[in-house]
Amino acid sequence: MIDVKNMSALVTDLWMFSNVGNNTTSEDNEHLRAFGTHGNETVFFYYPAALMDFAAACFIIFAIVGVFGNFVSILALSKSKKLRNATTAFIVNLCVADLLFCGFSMPLSALTFLERDWNYGDVLCKLFPLVRYSNGAVSLFSVIAITINRYILIVHPTLYRDMYKPRNIAIMIGFIWISALVLLFFPLFEVWGKFGYDPKVGTCSIMKLNERSPKMTLYIVAFGLPSMVFLVCYSRIFWVVHQASQRVMKDSLDNVSINRSVTFSSKKGVFRKHYRHSEMETEKTALKRSKQELKVLRMMMVIFITFVLCYFPVSFVKIFKKEDDLPILNIFGYLGVYFSNIINPVIYIVMSNEYRKAYLDLFCLRSAKSPKSSVV
């Protein structure tokens, strides 16, 4: 005789097993654990073991290098009196966000990849995506702030000192963190999406709530806004520097012409020669300063492009839902995201002579000189 109650329970269990998805609750997850299916149905479970172990090993290395590199960057740039300016403040802020990511998110990711599943409770399951996404937002907003800082300095230099006073810089940095957190308050308080365990992937992320999720909006903000800022700012900066270069070339030609006629000119002509020479020197100084600023801009552009390249694979996989079809690209997407949090100190050392000196000074590898405070 068929036991109707047992049959009903079996049907219910099968239904829950077949509907593991974005709306799975923590109670459902506990039920799945009881039946031994939690973990066996995740994408990670079916990935090659060597691929998962390789990714976990990379995460551990990234965490160690990232914590050390970003911590050293914070110390070196904060200690340097010559680099006490708005740009350095934003870069230090960027390093703080990356340090938190490397110290918290990467170790948990390494353990998740080794175990092929999330086994650390609901509290950490909500905190993990909150830290990961907020730090990513802070990093990107910091790069945007640096770009705008360079734009104001070169295009509107008369406004620079008033805008970037220490108090205003502190307000800007506070606004960066608040903006990043506000974007994630909606899933945190389950107003728009929610933080939780994704049984398909086997880790914690932003989930759908009532078929709604802010993930797509976050992607648009993360890539659309900075792209627009970079396009506008860099185009304008390039034009201003180009115009300054043209003026210097014109004044150089005028000065040569005046020099040739000095022997036959009057005192008025000589006076005009000195005036033009002084004007040309002023333009040369402005151009030299602009070129120095362009070096910093190139470094910031490399940081931004690196950020985009690191995030593109995982964005492609997530947007087009290719976790099942492209396991290697999916794993390398994770590696790219995490690698972006350790590469910035390397970029500073390679591309900036001033930052390189700050690192050398920190380790007493360079003879001490009387520092000159930077005006920017």
Q: What is the pLDDT of residue 296?
A: 66
Among the residues of the chain, which ranges form H helices? 4-18, 26-34, 43-46, 49-79, 86-100, 106-115, 121-155, 157-163, 166-188, 215-260, 267-319, 327-351, 353-362
- CA dist., res. 278 & res. 281, Å (int): 5
Residue type, 292: Q
- Max mean pLDDT among 121-135, 140-154, 164-178, 188-202 falls in 164-178
Q: Which two tokens stand for residue 38?
A: 């939690």
% of the chain surpassing 70 pLDDT: 72
pLDDT surpasses 70 at 348: yes
Highest averaged pLDDT of the listed ranges 22-31, 178-187, 243-252: 178-187
Return the number of other C-beta atoms located less than 10 Å from residue 306's C-beta: 18
Residues 241 and 294: beta-carbon distance below 8 Å: yes
Average pLDDT score over the chain: 77
> pLDDT tens digit string along 22-61?
444 444 444 334 333 344 567 777 888 999 999 999 999 9
Give the integer Cα–Cα distance in Å for 175 and 219: 20
Segment 105-125 mean pLDDT: 90
Question: Among 43-47, 160-164, 366-370, which is the least confidently predicted range?
Answer: 366-370
- Lowest-pLDDT range of 28-42, 102-116, 300-314: 28-42
Separation CA 191–CA 288 (nearest Å): 52
**CB contact at 8 A, 303 and 340:** no
End-to-end CA distance of the chain: 85
Place 350 in a pLDDT band, splitting at 50, 70 and 90: confident
273, pLDDT greater than 50: no
Which pLDDT does position 179 carry in this prediction? 92
Residue 168 scores a pLDDT above 70 = yes
341 vs 345, more confident: 341
pLDDT of residue 89: 95
- What is the token pair recorded at 284? 């040369």
pLDDT digits (tens, 9 = 90+) for 205-230: 998 888 888 887 787 777 778 878 88
Structure tokens of 175?
Answer: 């606004």
Type of residue found at 230? F
Q: What pLDDT score does 115 carry?
A: 87
pLDDT of residue 289: 63
pLDDT at residue 162 tops 80: yes
For residue 364, the model assigns a pLDDT of 80
Amino acid at 180: A
pLDDT at residue 74 is higher than 90? yes
Across residues 57-86, what is the average pLDDT?
Answer: 93
Close Cβ partners of 27 (under 8 Å, ≥ 6 residues apart): none
Separation of CA 65 from chain center: 17
Average pLDDT on 189-197 reads 92
